[in-house]
Amino acid sequence: MSSFIASASEVTRELHGSLSIGVSQVVSRDYALAGLPGLINRLHGRNPKLRIRLEVRSSAELEDGIDKGEFDIAYMETGFLHRDLETIALFDMHSNIYCASSHPLAEVADSRITDALLKSFPSVVFDINAPFINPLRGDDSEVTSSSESSIFFIMSGAYVGYLSDVLAEPWFGRGDLRRIAPERYGCNFPGGLVFRKSSLSNPIILHAIETARELSELGEEGGDASIAADQYGHRISAMEQGG
């Protein structure tokens, strides 16, 4: 089986069919994060008759779509999944705590910002079950599933919360948002490929996953992604063997 995995790219060059790719709204704002154009270019070059369908959806819609088979793979945030899906970490999505320019914290110097001060203001946080220790989290925090939802609370001027820097950039650049103490509270949320384990039996989907891994190994996704993709190669083999 491992030899099949190793030669997947060669075998699937002559495949015909279709591949459905979902992209989260945050990732779509900066496609360089995912290297998705490189993947599309490589797939088209090796499989000119392969039809590629691509749609931009919310993270929740993508997770549901992958689970139900509407999408074959998705480029999205991978740290807050609710379903038992497979992931390959390919990139980091840098995030910071933000508040609106009208919020009281907007006038406070970063040197005076403390965890206690942050918690004294209403906050919006990602999924309460997410594996992330959020200094803002409290029993009365509003809970959302992604930056796309949180930004409405934060832009209201009534809440503080984490946002993806890519999503926040237009408003931050105009001065509508304030980034709070980024040297202490900035963090990276993982992003990458999401797919069903069972989809590895589909040679087209497997080819797409292996191609994304191949691009990472070539350094097109950065050093950390190369390591993550290399480690995941062993997991793909194990899953194919039922391990």
Same domain, 173 and 207: no
Same domain, 138 and 182: yes
Instruction: Tell me what percent of the chain is helix, strand and coil, each rounded to the nearest 5.
Output: 45, 25, 30
Q: Where is average pLDDT lowest: 6-10, 19-23, 165-169?
A: 6-10
Task: Provide the domain limits for residue 229.
Answer: 2-92+189-240
Tens digits of per-residue pLDDT, 34-59? 678 889 999 988 888 899 999 999 88
Single residue among 146, 162, 187 that ends a domain in this structure: 187
Tens digits of per-residue pLDDT, 104-142? 999 999 999 999 999 999 999 876 445 456 778 777 888
C-alpha span between 201 and 204 (Å, rounded): 9
Tens digits of per-residue pLDDT, 218-238? 764 344 443 333 333 434 444
Our count of domains for the chain comes to 2
Same domain, 139 and 223: no
Same domain, 107 and 227: no
What is the pLDDT, as a whole number, of residue 70? 95
Q: Where is average pLDDT lowest: 9-23, 52-66, 71-85, 141-155?
A: 9-23
Angle at 81 between CA 217 and CA 85, to 5 degrees: 65
| Helix runs in the chain, H state only | 2-6, 8-11, 25-28, 36-46, 59-68, 115-119, 147-155, 165-173, 182-185, 203-217, 223-240
The CATH number that applies at residue 156 is 3.40.190.10
Backbone angles phi, psi at 105, to 5 degrees: -70, -15
Same domain, 8 and 18: yes
